[in-house]
Amino acid sequence: MKGKIFGSRYKIIEYIAKGGFGRTYLAEDIQLPGKDRCVLKQLYPSIEAPKVVALARRLFKTEASTLHNLGFHEQIPELLAYFEEETKFYLVQQYIEGQTLEKELIREGVWSEARVIEFLKDVLEILKFIHGKGVIHRDIKPNNLIRRHSDGKIVLVDFGTAKEVLQGETDLAQLTVAIGTQGYMPIEQARGKPRAASDLYALGIIAIQALTGVEPLDLEEDEEGELVWNSAEVSPKLVEILNQMTRDHFKDRYQSAEMVLQALNSLNRGLTKPQSITAIQAPLSNDSQPKQPTSITASTYIEPETIVTSTPADTKLQDKIEASPSPTVVSENNISAIQLDPTPEIKSKQRLVISNQAGILIAAIASILAIFSSIYLLVQLPQSDTPTSEPNSTPRVDQGTGFRKDL
């Protein structure tokens, strides 16, 4: 098969895989200057029974029409061609260079919570797009999710089992078959009645598998058919979200990819729980001697990406530091907190102390001024009783007895 050309332009490079309804090859488009690589799927049912062939042909056409109707999305392979040659059908798709999630899980084992949340958001954006176009994939599983090497994004492939929701269709039983993968397929899909929530169920199962390392068929169930799983490394809120995605009855699940995205965004805002930060402050007493340090505890809410520091770049925080009597940095759980401002009660006491000290100072100054005034008066009074001699005056001559002294 290597080197053979199909459709007058697609040259086979190598064989990739074989499924229940066809074979997949890596090919190159020889009619393009760069001989771009592509994926060529050949309809090749493993069973030649007429009903199986008819079903395979229908599913093959479904993938082609679904990809065509969906239009462009950067995380869905683009449909390049669909043709029939020598009574066989061929479908040509954009080649995605990357690795399946199945191989990634085998190689790396259990994932962190943050990585699983990022993965969920990535795939949910794709599901939001296809569900908005009225398409249910019906076969969400690790082998149909490829992590693209160029940017690390998840690409959803294999729309051969996709079901298009036809409004007003009266004979759904003839249009819908129970196709999917055990472990990832919910009960309503097994009955041939898939819904958008069926894709969300499969995605939730993959997330649980990534968090626990447990295969879907090995997960336990309770008496009501709900999955039983647990991981000490997973936050209760994420467990709640995944449990709702994988409820046994589709009515109990999220009904849209958008609803799950909103729940995950809410989870991101609350990943860091409120923490207690203690600041130390020593208020002044009436005798101007510092009292024992007083502990003031405040409940703070820190966003996951926010770290409170005392860097000069933060103008508001710097103002707090300058206004505080004696700023103290307290470190708890790698979070730096600046000393809290005094409470209104402490501020009132400080103002009272300052007022009392000012009154004492004024009284002391008044007393000192009074003392100096008294000393000054005592010194000046004796000098006023002593006669003073006038300059250039003639000395008085004794005129003898009987002479009037006042003359």
Q: Which CATH superfamily is domain 98-167+175-271 in?
A: Transferase(Phosphotransferase) domain 1 (1.10.510.10)
Contact of 157 with 96, CB cutoff 8 Å: yes
| pTM attached to this predicted model | 0.63
| CA–CA separation, 145 and 199 (whole Å) | 13
- 246, 248, 252, 256: CA torsion to nearest 10: 40
Question: If 0-12 CB within 10 Å is exposed, 13-18 middle and 19+ buried, where does residue 284 land?
Answer: middle
Catalytic residue chosen out of the listed positions 29, 139, 158, 199: 139
Write out the two tokens for 22: 């066809």
Q: Cα–chain-centroid distance for residue 251? A: 28
Domain ranges of the chain: 1-95, 98-167+175-271, 275-345
277: phi > 0 → left, psi -120 to 50 → alpha, else beta; which? beta
- What are the structure tokens assigned to 272, written together? 């860091």
Class of domain 1-95: alpha beta
Give how far Cα 314 sits from Cα of 84, 129, 308, 321, Å: 67, 41, 10, 11
Residue 371 CA from chain centroid, whole number: 74
Tell which residue, 338, 112, 296, 286, has the closest CA to residue 212. Answer: 112
Helical ranges in 193-246 per DSSP H = 196-212, 236-245
Do the beta carbons of residue 243 and residue 200 sit within 8 Å?
Answer: no
pLDDT tens-digit profile, the chain (407 residues): 889 999 999 999 999 988 767 889 999 999 999 999 999 999 877 777 888 888 888 888 888 889 999 989 999 999 999 998 887 889 999 999 999 999 999 998 899 999 999 999 999 999 999 999 999 999 999 999 999 999 999 999 988 877 766 443 333 344 445 677 889 999 999 998 999 999 999 999 999 999 999 999 999 999 888 999 987 789 999 999 999 999 999 999 999 999 999 999 988 665 544 443 333 344 444 444 444 444 433 333 333 443 333 344 444 444 544 454 444 443 344 433 334 455 555 555 566 656 677 778 787 788 788 787 777 776 665 554 444 444 444 444 444 444 444 43
Per the annotation, the verdict on 319 as an active-site residue is no
